[in-house]
A and B are shown apart, each in its own frame.
Chain A
Amino acid sequence: MSKPNIRNFCIIAHIDHGKSTLADRLLEKTRTIEKRNMMKQVLDDMDLEQERGITIKLHAIQMKYTAPDKQEYIFNLIDTPGHVDFSYEVSRSLAACEGALLVVDATQGVEAQTISNLYLAIDNGLEIIPVINKIDLQNSMVDEVTDQIIELLGCKKEDIILASAKADIGTDLILEAIVNRIPAAKTETEKPLRALIFDSKFDIYRGVIVYVRVFEGSIKVGDTIKFFFTENAFTAEEVGVLRMGRIKKDILNAGDVGYLIAGIKDVNDTRVGDTIFKIHEPVSEPLPGYKEVKPMVFSGIYPSSTEDFENLRESLAKLKLNDAALSFEPETSVALGFGFRCGFLGMLHMEIVQERLEREYGLNIITTVPNVEYKVYKTNGEVVLVDNPSDMPEPPKIDYIEEPYITSNIITPTEFIGNLMKLANERRGVFISTNYVDAKRVDLHFEFPLSEIVYDFYDKLKSYSRGYASFDYSFKDFRESSLVKLDILLNAEPVDALSTIVHKDKAFEWGKKLCTKLKELIPKQMFEVAIQAAIGSKVVARETISAMRKNVTAKCYGGDISRKRKLLEKQKEGKKRMKQIGSVEIPQEAFHAVLSLN
């Protein structure tokens, strides 16, 4: 048998430009999936992905392609998410590939994550195949978008493939381009094994399943293998490739993408980016691996009932296997008990983690107001990182505080520049420069305090630009700021989980808004509830929830006690989902009241 002709590539783009739909066409054309099993965005196999219509996880799949000249190829495709919050999934996918399809929506043109993901791919030395997608749509702007891509890539017009993933236009051209333009994977099977772990997940029957790209050597069932960083040794129990399910193989060779099961039960024994080698063929150098991701947003996750704490710990560990960007550490809250401070790449990431914990692990959890991480310089010379407002030292002990800044690019049609300048101003943005992408579009370069963009900036950006502007950002540095800790007191008791850190100039307004919001969210209780916002001992805002005066069913009719009991049980269920702090019952929504403030 001749050596297989392998092409490893991923599909990258700005969100919603049609990556997963293009993947559908490729899978269909190569008959990887039978027509009758086909569904929209078939690789988005998580319920959450289908429901929200977005890709959250990278998805790897193998296809067999027979070229018009009857030559056979193996394609390993990785579909990636487009949303900024999942960019870590993209960078890990890139490291397992030699090429990338860069998809650009013909009606939207080049957007912020088109550029950022392209740069990631170029950094990884990937061959880029630009594809203009959705050309079937009436409002497509093929010429303009072609110009934008030429400008961006420095490629020739002929290099760009015009396609419609939906209408199956250009699919054959793309398949041929993959064969002709993406370098074949190197197949250095004689060398000692070096394989990169680019993803993993936990399976209740099989333990940890790792997804690997074999760069050198080979791995077969029975091999004793070792992980370079975690230094744990295991025996390979099963290897194989990924089709619509796992397909067992005897061996994975250099160039292959596949999976490995090695009886790994402890989720801490593996980590993505690690290199696998054989115990009797030690290697001196690991594969390049990945940059550690730095979480941008932090929030507390607590079990609704305290006895679920261990369960939550295990679930987070398992989830982290499948979500390498998640970080967590135990913490305690006076209000909420034992829980974890978790780090996320953004709000959507946080929301998804929350939902996955609830759906996949059946947990009932409470999440607290998200915040960024602060660098606090204390008067005694100590410097501490604070990712939880309640850990903020007392004001007299603080010399000054620094907050994280990001550097960002906003790509927008020129007519919205004014609006967006205004938005940037509201969010303490620092203007750096403007670059014209083409005659009608600019790339506005700003620096922002991260805390100003994590909550609702994206929605605002969209509404200030009628949906046309897009936005990309990355961490820049820490800068000194006038920040204060705003505490919330309920009936004079501080609720640590509701504390936030805000800019001094915004503290009063926030305090007021927060009190009003909490008044809306906290139901009437049997007692009056005073809500106060305070900076140190100074109360800056106050609201009162008057006592509930009536809550009783008038009639317990004709001995129908069951009906009454059912109502009562429902009421009790509702109460279970609340947290009691002092004598006040607080619904879970109240803990992220801040999010719905604007």
Chain B
Amino acid sequence: MSGIYVHIPFCSRRCNYCDFFFTTNTKLTDDFLISLDKEIQIHSASIPNQKFDTIFFGGGTPSILTGNQLLGIINRLRETFDITEDAEMSLEANPEDLTNEKIRELYSAGVNRLSIGVQSFIDSELQFLTRHHTSSIAGDVVKNSLDVLDNVSIDIIYSLPSQRAEDIIVSIDKAKVMGVKHISAYTLTYEDKTLLTKSANEGKIIRNTPEHEATLYETVSKEIISRGFRQYEVSNFAIPGYESRHNKKYWKLLPYLGLGPSAHSFIGNRRWNNLKSVGKYCELVNSRKLPIENDYELNEQQLQSDFIMLALRAEGINFTEYKKRFGKSFEVYNKRAIGELVQNGFAELSNDSFRLSTKGYAVADEIIARYF
């Protein structure tokens, strides 16, 4: 089964830490939707034999769209591609967009999973992150969403300068109490060319030391897990059964088709991504060309190394699956690495799989670079 990702490249303004691709020129929305429709049509011929069971609307801010606009896209997707009846349909939403009416519109358009950009339930932290909502709005929105649909996830950003573990636990607790089913908890990342990074470089804000960040990471993982969630990726936690089916496609090296500017795709052994410009995107699509920026084929060795990298960041490597896919046995080829990592508490080994522990997740990049 494959997934579909749709990139909605609009935000009302830019948050200080964000380096995603979008534009604030929302006047382009109609043009974009027409072009998106065309892109879907172009793909109808080029993507045969794929069955899809997830659709993910990401951005940008997909919640900027009206229920009708969204319905239009979903209908077109269902007309064009073979999509299962019970497909997971996720949508990323900003709290300030989610009026009760909007929630119901989205739901009736087919959205059955909401990923809400809460980031924090503490107002000063929201201000630091230049978000537009307050913690009380976020609380209401989460509650209202849960009244309409059961599968609600929130994003949390932590490791803000001088943040204490207790501060984050406030947000975690609140999520749990309200009945949120899934938490994506990301440490604040200082991406190139963001205002946040600029302030840090100018010394206006002070980054946390890796030591402090490590402590926060450990605490956050422990606290979320202790509330009944299962960690199934470096930064992702779910009440069992509520894992994001779509995101797991990325992590299990399963196929996905990306639509919209800057969207990434992986089908067959090919990876490609669309270019990052709404204008150029529309222009190309309107002349019936795919708006692709990069396109390349992975060789067997790259596939293997991607598989390992992604699996180790997530639920680990299943030996049977690995053997089926690559025709060799992971556990035999990596005996020494497995032994060393398990012995030192970085990983856990079971009969048929090998996965990182929380301690291992914290240094996953190092482990992958060093051992695999």
Interface residues of chain A, those whose CB is within 8 Å of chain B, are: 526-527, 548-562, 564-565, 567-568, 571-572, 574-575, 583, 585
Is A548 a contact of B189 with CB atoms below 8 Å?
no
- Could you tell me the distance between the alpha carbons of A549 and B362 in the complex, rounded to whole angstroms? 7
* Chain B positions within 8 Å of A575 at CB level: 369-370
Is B363 a contact of A549 with CB atoms below 8 Å?
yes
Does B364 sit within 8 A of A, measured CB to CB? yes
Q: A526-B363, A550-B213, A550-B363 are in contact. Are A561 and B234 (CB under 8 A)?
A: no
Within the complex, the shortest CB–CB distance from A450 to chain B, in Å, comes to: 41
* Chain B positions within 8 Å of A549 at CB level: 210-211, 214-215, 362-363
Is A551 a contact of B365 with CB atoms below 8 Å?
yes
Q: A557-B20, A558-B5, A562-B273 are in contact. Are A551 and B309 (CB under 8 A)?
A: no
Of the residues B7, B213, B217, B313, contact of A558 by C-beta under 8 Å? B7
- Specify which of A554, A558, A574, A575 lies most central, judged by the most chain B CB atoms within 10 Å of its CB: A558
Is B366 a contact of A526 with CB atoms below 8 Å?
yes
Q: A526-B370, A559-B258, A572-B369 are in contact. Are A564 and B309 (CB under 8 A)?
A: yes
Question: Chain B residue with minimal CB distance to A552?
Answer: B364
Question: Chain A residue with minimal CB distance to B341?
Answer: A526
* Chain B positions within 8 Å of A555 at CB level: 186, 189, 235
Is A552 a contact of B7 with CB atoms below 8 Å?
no
Within the complex, the shortest CB–CB distance from A47 to chain B, in Å, comes to: 32
- Could you tell me the distance between the alpha carbons of A556 and B310 in the complex, rounded to whole angstroms? 9
Is A561 a contact of B217 with CB atoms below 8 Å?
no
Is A554 a contact of B256 with CB atoms below 8 Å?
no
Known: A548-B210, A574-B369. 4 other contacts (CB 8 A): A552-B366, A559-B250, A562-B264, A562-B273
Of the residues A548, A556, A571, A583, contact of B250 by C-beta under 8 Å? A556
Is B266 a contact of A561 with CB atoms below 8 Å?
yes
Within the complex, the shortest CB–CB distance from A158 to chain B, in Å, comes to: 65
A-B contact pairs, 10 of them (CB 8 A): A527-B344, A548-B366, A551-B365, A553-B189, A553-B365, A556-B310, A558-B7, A559-B264, A562-B294, A571-B365
* Chain A positions within 8 Å of B249 at CB level: 559
* Chain A positions within 8 Å of B266 at CB level: 559, 561
Is A526 a contact of B210 with CB atoms below 8 Å?
no
* Chain B positions within 8 Å of A559 at CB level: 5, 249-250, 256, 258, 263-266
The 4 closest A-B pairs by CB, nearest first: A549-B214, A550-B214, A571-B369, A559-B264
Question: Chain B residue with minimal CB distance to A560?
Answer: B264
- Could you tell me the distance between the alpha carbons of A552 and B235 in the complex, rounded to whole angstroms? 10
Is A561 a contact of B306 with CB atoms below 8 Å?
yes
Does B367 sit within 8 A of A, measured CB to CB? yes
Question: Chain B residue with minimal CB distance to A570?
Answer: B369
* Chain B positions within 8 Å of A572 at CB level: 369
* Chain A positions within 8 Å of B121 at CB level: none
Is B263 a contact of A554 with CB atoms below 8 Å?
no
Does B237 sit within 8 A of A, measured CB to CB? no
Is A526 a contact of B344 with CB atoms below 8 Å?
yes
* Chain A positions within 8 Å of B369 at CB level: 568, 571-572, 574-575
Question: Chain A residue with minimal CB distance to B251?
Answer: A556
- Could you tell me the distance between the alpha carbons of A538 and B370 in the complex, rounded to whole angstroms? 33
* Chain A positions within 8 Å of B273 at CB level: 560, 562
* Chain B positions within 8 Å of A585 at CB level: 370
* Chain B positions within 8 Å of A567 at CB level: 365
Tell me the residues in window 332-353 of chain B with beta carbons closer than 8 Å to chain A beta carbons: 340, 344, 346
Does B29 sit within 8 A of A, measured CB to CB? no
Does B368 sit within 8 A of A, measured CB to CB? yes
- Specify which of A526, A553, A568 lies most central, judged by the most chain B CB atoms within 10 Å of its CB: A526
Question: Chain B residue with minimal CB distance to A549?
Answer: B214
Is B187 a contact of A554 with CB atoms below 8 Å?
yes
* Chain B positions within 8 Å of A565 at CB level: 302, 305-306, 309
Of the residues A550, A560, A568, contact of B309 by C-beta under 8 Å? A568
Q: A526-B363, A552-B361 are in contact. Are A562 and B271 (CB under 8 A)?
A: yes
- Could you tell me the distance between the alpha carbons of A527 and B368 in the complex, rounded to whole angstroms? 15
Tell me the residues in window 277-309 of chain B with beta carbons closer than 8 Å to chain A beta carbons: 294, 302, 305-306, 309
Of the residues A551, A558, A583, contact of B264 by C-beta under 8 Å? A558
- Specify which of B58, B187, B211, B369 lies most central, judged by the most chain A CB atoms within 10 Å of its CB: B369
Question: Chain B residue with minimal CB distance to A573?
Answer: B369
Is A551 a contact of B366 with CB atoms below 8 Å?
yes
Q: A526-B346, A555-B189 are in contact. Are A561 and B5 (CB under 8 A)?
A: no
* Chain A positions within 8 Å of B256 at CB level: 559
* Chain A positions within 8 Å of B258 at CB level: 558-559
Within the complex, the shortest CB–CB distance from A292 to chain B, in Å, comes to: 47
- Could you tell me the distance between the alpha carbons of A550 and B187 in the complex, rounded to whole angstroms? 11
Within the complex, the shortest CB–CB distance from A265 to chain B, in Å, comes to: 39
Within the complex, the shortest CB–CB distance from A527 to chain B, in Å, comes to: 7
Within the complex, the shortest CB–CB distance from B70 to chain A, in Å, comes to: 18
Is A558 a contact of B263 with CB atoms below 8 Å?
yes
Is B370 a contact of A550 with CB atoms below 8 Å?
no
Within the complex, the shortest CB–CB distance from A517 to chain B, in Å, comes to: 22
Is A561 a contact of B365 with CB atoms below 8 Å?
no
In the complex, per-residue mask of B238-260: 1 if CB is within 8 Å of any chain A CB, else 0: 00000000000111000010100
Is A561 a contact of B271 with CB atoms below 8 Å?
yes
Is A556 a contact of B366 with CB atoms below 8 Å?
no
- Could you tell me the distance between the alpha carbons of A571 and B211 in the complex, rounded to whole angstroms? 20
Within the complex, the shortest CB–CB distance from A209 to chain B, in Å, comes to: 43
* Chain B positions within 8 Å of A562 at CB level: 264, 271, 273, 294
- Could you tell me the distance between the alpha carbons of A555 and B364 in the complex, rounded to whole angstroms? 12
* Chain B positions within 8 Å of A526 at CB level: 344, 346, 363, 366-367, 370
Question: Chain A residue with minimal CB distance to B20?
Answer: A557
* Chain A positions within 8 Å of B265 at CB level: 559
- Could you tell me the distance between the alpha carbons of A560 and B263 in the complex, rounded to whole angstroms? 8
Is A551 a contact of B250 with CB atoms below 8 Å?
no
* Chain A positions within 8 Å of B215 at CB level: 549
Is B7 a contact of A556 with CB atoms below 8 Å?
no
- Could you tell me the distance between the alpha carbons of A560 and B306 in the complex, rounded to whole angstroms? 12
In the complex, per-residue mask of B117-140: 1 if CB is within 8 Å of any chain A CB, else 0: 000000000000000000000000
* Chain B positions within 8 Å of A527 at CB level: 344
Is A550 a contact of B306 with CB atoms below 8 Å?
no
- Could you tell me the distance between the alpha carbons of A564 and B364 in the complex, rounded to whole angstroms? 12
Within the complex, the shortest CB–CB distance from B367 to chain A, in Å, comes to: 7
- Specify which of B264, B265, B306, B370 lies most central, judged by the most chain A CB atoms within 10 Å of its CB: B370
Is B365 a contact of A552 with CB atoms below 8 Å?
yes
Q: A550-B217, A552-B361 are in contact. Are A558 and B58 (CB under 8 A)?
A: yes
* Chain B positions within 8 Å of A558 at CB level: 5, 7, 58, 258, 263-264
In the complex, per-residue mask of B61-97: 1 if CB is within 8 Å of any chain A CB, else 0: 0000000000000000000000000000000000000
- Could you tell me the distance between the alpha carbons of A565 and B263 in the complex, rounded to whole angstroms? 17
Question: Chain A residue with minimal CB distance to B309?
Answer: A568
Question: Chain B residue with minimal CB distance to A580?
Answer: B370
Is A550 a contact of B271 with CB atoms below 8 Å?
no
Q: A549-B211, A549-B362, A549-B363 are in contact. Are A554 and B344 (CB under 8 A)?
A: no
- Specify which of A550, A551, A555, A562 lies most central, judged by the most chain B CB atoms within 10 Å of its CB: A550
* Chain A positions within 8 Å of B294 at CB level: 562
Within the complex, the shortest CB–CB distance from B4 to chain A, in Å, comes to: 11
- Could you tell me the distance between the alpha carbons of A564 and B368 in the complex, rounded to whole angstroms? 12
Of the residues B211, B310, B370, contact of A561 by C-beta under 8 Å? B310
* Chain A positions within 8 Å of B365 at CB level: 551-553, 567-568, 571
Question: Chain B residue with minimal CB distance to A547?
Answer: B363
Within the complex, the shortest CB–CB distance from A587 to chain B, in Å, comes to: 14
* Chain A positions within 8 Å of B313 at CB level: 552, 556
- Could you tell me the distance between the alpha carbons of A575 and B258 in the complex, rounded to whole angstroms? 33
Within the complex, the shortest CB–CB distance from B173 to chain A, in Å, comes to: 21
